[in-house]
Amino acid sequence: MPDSQGRRIALGCEGSANKLGIGIIAHDASGAAHVLSNVRHTFVSPPGTGFLPKDTAHHHRAFFVRVAKQALRDAGIAVSALDCICFTRGPGMGGPLTSVAVGARTLSLLWGKPLVGVNHCVGHIEMGRAITGAANPVVLYVSGGNTQVIAYAEQRYRIFGETLDIAVGNCLDRFARTLEISNDPAPGYNIEQLAKQGGRVLLDLPYAVKGMDCSFSGILGRADELAALMRTGGKGPDGEDFTPADLCFTLQETIFAMLVEITERAMAHVGSNQVLIVGGVGCNERLQDMMGKMAAERGGSVYATDERFCIDNGIMIAHAGLLAYETGFETALEESTCTQRFRTDEVFVKWRN
């Protein structure tokens, strides 16, 4: 039910990877979104290691109540003002997903509010559109778990291109482990900073684009080999010295060129000149810069958001969930399960024309 000012309010719970996020959003009578709170707590593993599902799930369970309380305090609203509780159904890591779903179910039963299950990728896309105002862009969704080029057509977000193996963020995260770079605040962020000191040489890495799809595991393998070579004092293929910074620079230049290329191909295919970048890797300013150059050449522009909305957060789940809720969608308690595999194009997008 809309409140006295015609607003609808939703609380969203996200925990498909190492970020636990809870946020509260309001849609006013005109449909505009207002962020009331956006709280996040990240599970950071030591350098050289990744986040394991078991530990991450434990982290989410341990912090759920604290983060939820903080989100309510920041929003300054009473529980009774909420219309629904939204949670991530997938895709993501099983353990962390189910931990957060248990939390969301508990809130739903405790406060007597309906549940709304949300596709994580659709959450990213809708949040990006709401924040940037991009009406109908080609979307590049790049994160630790996903790499997709998406365009909207007839009630679905269609996947035009995607990774054939690991996600681009996974490639960066694992290379950060190889170099034993800190995971705080995020491995990708630290690679980006280190890459700024590199750039004297561009080493030779494989380049794997197939139509609108791409592949990253071979590139990671070669980058790991070069890192091992560097540690033993070896030289590059042309006898040059190189540093971790040069490796980070090379990796970024190569994989981002691939992403921009497949995005450009999708834009040419659907005849669009707007591009929206979402997902954690979307924070990377070099990627935004390259995408901007490509879009400018096509007479268009790039839309990107900052870390508050790019990196996994609860507010995007609340926003996408509320959009669905407004069209009459609810997830019954018995059906409020999670799934590790949940394609973006499985969601029926009733709220768009």
Partner 1 sequence: MAATPAAASEPQFPLPSILNNPASAPPLLIAQGAEGRLYKTTYLVPDLACAVKYRPPKPYRHPVLDVRLTKARLSSEAKVLDRCARDGVPVPALYAIDAAGGWMALEWIDGPPVRQGINDWLGARPETDTTHADEQVDQTPLVDLMRRIGTVMGALHRTGVVHGDLTTSNMMLRPWKDGQGQNEGGEGTVLDGDVVLIDFGLATQSQSDEDRAVDLYVLERAFASTHPRAEAYFEYVLKAYGKTFKKAPSVLVKLADVRMRGRKRSMLG
The b-or-e profile of 23-35 (16+ CB within 10 A means b, else e) is bbbbbeeeeebeb
Q: Is 131 in the site for partner 1 (CB under 8 A)?
A: no
Sign of torsion over alpha carbons 200, 203, 208, 209: positive
Q: Of 43 and 325, which has the nearer Cβ to partner 1?
A: 43
Q: Among 264, 266, 175, 269, which Cα is nearest to 216's?
A: 175
- Residue position matching structure tokens 């050449």: 297
What residues between 247 and 306 interact with partner 1 by CB under 8 A?
A: 253-254, 257, 260-261, 264-265, 267-269, 289-291, 293-294, 297
Q: β-pairing, 84-90 with 115-119?
A: parallel
In the complex, least distance from residue 264 CB atom to partner 1, rounded to whole angstroms: 5
Q: Check whether 225 is labelled as a binding-site residue.
A: no
String marking each residue 169-208 x if it binds partner 1 according to CB under 8 A = ---------------------------------x-x--x-
CB of 219 to partner 1, least distance (A): 12
The number of beta carbons lying within 10 Å of the beta carbon of residue 291 is 25
* Residue 218 assigned as binding residue: no
Pick from 46, 133, 211, 233 the residue near partner 1 by CB under 8 A.
211
In angstroms, what is the minimal distance from the CB of 313 to partner 1?
17
> Rounded to whole angstroms, what are the CA distances from 112 to 9, 84, 341?
14, 9, 29
If the CB atoms of residues 25 and 186 are measured against partner 1, the closer one turns out to be 186
Q: Which ranges of the chain does DSSP label H, i.e. alpha helix?
A: 53-75, 94-111, 120-132, 168-179, 187-195, 217-231, 244-270, 285-297, 307-310, 314-326
Q: How far is the CB of 116 from partner 1 (least distance, A)?
A: 20
Q: Which is nearer to partner 1, 84 or 266 (CB)?
A: 266
Tell me if 340 contacts partner 1 by CB under 8 A.
yes
CB of 20 to partner 1, least distance (A): 15
Q: Which of 322, 342, 347, 349 binds partner 1 (CB under 8 A)?
A: 342
Instruction: Pick from 69, 210, 231, 350 the residue near partner 1 by CB under 8 A.
Output: 210
Rounded Cα distance, 168 and 175, in Å: 11
144 is in an annotated binding site: yes
On whether 236 is known to bind a ligand per the annotation, the reply is no
> Closer CB to partner 1, residue 65 or residue 268?
268
Structure tokens at 114: 């309906």
Structure tokens at 209: 């684009």
Question: What does the H/E/C string look like for 44-110?
Answer: CCCCCCCCCHHHHHHHHHHHHHHHHHHHHHHHCCCHHHCCEEEEEEECCCHHHHHHHHHHHHHHHHH
Closer to partner 1 by Cβ: residue 133 or 211 = 211
Closer of 25 and 220 to partner 1 (Cβ): 220
**Of 81 and 294, which CB lies nearer to partner 1 in the complex structure?**
294
d(CA 107, CA 317): 15
Contact flag: residue 98 with partner 1 (CB under 8 A): no
**Cα–Cα distance, 251 to 173 (Å, whole number):** 12
Q: Would you tell me which residues interact with partner 1 (CB under 8 A)?
A: 16-17, 90-93, 145-146, 162, 164, 202, 204, 207, 210-211, 213, 253-254, 257, 260-261, 264-265, 267-269, 289-291, 293-294, 297, 340-344
**Known binding residues for a divalent metal cation:** 120, 124, 141, 312
**Known binding residues:** 120, 124, 141-145, 173, 188, 192, 284, 312
